[in-house]
Structure 1
Amino acid sequence: MSQENIFREVDEELRSDRMRALWKRFAPLVIGAAIGVVVLVAVNEGWNWYQSSNAAQSSDKLYAAFDAADGGDSAKAESILDDLVANGSGGYPTLARFRDAGLLAKNGKSTEAIAAYDALANNETSPRMRELALVLAANLLVDQGSLADVEARVSTLAAESGPMRNAAREALGLAQYKAGDFAAARDSFQSVIDDPRSQSSVRNRMSYYIAQLLSEGAIAPDAPTENAADATDVQPDSSVNDVSPQVPAEPAPTE
């Protein structure tokens, strides 16, 4: 064996020894890191499964409450909804609270329903959910409260450009009509008609309101009445602008 080959073998042995020494030194760290990655992945997957499972259970409970309410068993529906509020996951507790308030309104418990919507408006972190709760409370207060009560909840929404603006304007207009402020009611209804993003069915309903005000002599014939000439033949579409299926659509203003 040549001297060069001997040196090469010795060098390889030394390098092998160094590698074994390095591996013995760092192996626990490498293995620990690998185990940590596996554990994190497992925990993440487990958490996702847990959330999905809870969300599925919450969804089933919500639909069970709907079925019970539709079947006339309000007590069972309220029990399911209360459990969902306390133990549900994701956004289902909020949906349950809205549905629970709707059941109260459906069963003639308007005062409790208004309080429930007000609590949602005060406690919800989502601006849209707060606005929805305010509009639903205002809808009930058109009949159960005063103009000041309705204004306290939706006057700001009616003046803004948010998605609930026209629902707020309609509730405000109906409350103004009830209070005898017919000119303000006409202006509220007309502002919905003038909104370029209003749906045609919503405009027709507002025109119907204005046409009725005209027929009663509550406003002057020269007031803005776009589409009002034909509105007496248009019936309000109660399915439009009704932001919650459990809250009855507002009737046209009557004396």
Structure 2
Amino acid sequence: MSQDNIFREVDEELRSDRMRSLWRRFAPLVIGAAIAIVLLVAVNEGWSWYSNSQSAASSDKLYAALDSAEGGDLTAAQQQLDQLQAEGSGGYPVLAQFREAALLKNSGDTAGAVAAYDALANDQSNPRLRELALLLAANILVDTGSLQDVEARVATLATDDNPMRRTARELLGLAQLKAGDVAAAQASFEAILNDPLAQAPTQNRISYYLAAMASRGDIAPETAAAQTPAESAADTVDQIVQDDEAAPAAQ
């Protein structure tokens, strides 16, 4: 055996010894890191499975409550919704609160429904859900409350920069009309008609309100100089009625 081969074998043995020494030194760390990664993946998958299973269970409970309500068993529906609020996951407890408030309204407990919506509005961090709760409470109070009750809930939503402004203004207008403040009601309704983002169904509904006000004499009659938006709305409704009456005759 040549001298070079002897030195090469000795060098390889030394390197092998060093590698074994390094492995013995760092093997626990490497293995521990690998185990940690595996555990992390397992925990993440387990949590995803648990969350999905919990959401599925909450969904089943919500549909069970809805079925009970549709079947007329309001007591069972309320108990199921209460349980969902206490034990549900994700957004289902909030949905249960909204549905329970609706059940109170449908059962004739309008005061309880308003209180439930007010509680939702006070508890919600999501601004859109808070505004929805306020609008639903105001919708009840248009019939059962005062103008001040409605204003307390939706006046801040009737501003030009709020996406809920059209619904808020409609509820305000109805409450103002009920309270006898015709000028304020007309202004609220016309603000909706003049809103470029108001959709056709909303504009048609507001036009009917204004037409009814004009037919009762609440709004000043048409003048030769100018026509108010309310009078234009009344003319539009009259034209629709005339067209409907003329259609059978033309046939």
TM-score (norm 2): 0.90
In 1, Cα distance between equivalents of 2:182 and 2:22? 89
What is the 5 A alignment of 1:196-215?
196-215=196-215
Q: Encode CA deviations 1:132-152: one digit per residue, 9 max, x unaligned.
A: 000000001111111111111
Name 1:241's counterpart in structure 2. Answer: none
In 1, Cα distance between equivalents of 2:58 and 2:74? 19
The letter for the 2-side match of 1:127 is P
SS in structure 2 of the partner of residue 210 of structure 1: helix
1:232 positional shift: 5.5
Higher helix proportion:
2
Name 1:138's counterpart in structure 2. Answer: 138
Name 2:234's counterpart in structure 1. Answer: 228
8 A contact 2:86–2:93 mirrored in 1 = yes
8 A contact 1:147–1:175 mirrored in 2 = yes
What is the 5 A alignment of 1:136-215?
136-215=136-215
1:63 positional shift: 1.1
In 2, Cα distance between equivalents of 1:68 and 1:176? 38
The letter for the 1-side match of 2:158 is A
In 1, Cα distance between equivalents of 2:239 and 2:99? 34
The letter for the 2-side match of 1:84 is L
What is the 5 A alignment of 1:215-254?
215-221=215-221, 222-225=227-230, 226-231=232-237
1:57 positional shift: 0.8
* % same residue: 63
1:163 positional shift: 2.6
Q: Encode CA deviations 1:48-101: one digit per residue, 9 max, x unaligned.
A: 110100101111111111111111111111111000000000000000000000
In 1, Cα distance between equivalents of 2:209 and 2:234? 8
1:234 positional shift: 7.1
1:162 positional shift: 2.7
1:43 positional shift: 0.4
Quick one: higher RCO (CA 8 Å, sep 6+), 1 or 2?
1
In 2, Cα distance between equivalents of 1:70 and 1:228? 40
Pair 182,70 (structure 1): closer, same or farther in 2 beyond 3 Å: same
Q: Any gaps of 5 or more consecutive residues in structure 2?
A: 222-226, 242-251
1:12 positional shift: 0.4
What is the 5 A alignment of 1:1-255?
1-221=1-221, 222-225=227-230, 226-231=232-237
Name 2:249's counterpart in structure 1. Answer: none
TM-score (norm 1): 0.89
In 1, Cα distance between equivalents of 2:115 and 2:184? 27
SS in structure 2 of the partner of residue 195 of structure 1: coil
The letter for the 2-side match of 1:231 is V
In 2, Cα distance between equivalents of 1:18 and 1:197? 76
Q: Any gaps of 5 or more consecutive residues in structure 1?
A: 236-255
Shifted more, 189-198 versus 6-15: the winner is: 189-198
SS in structure 1 of the partner of residue 235 of structure 2: coil
Name 2:246's counterpart in structure 1. Answer: none
How many residues are matched? 235
In 2, Cα distance between equivalents of 1:228 and 1:8? 106
Give the superposed CA RMSD: 1.4
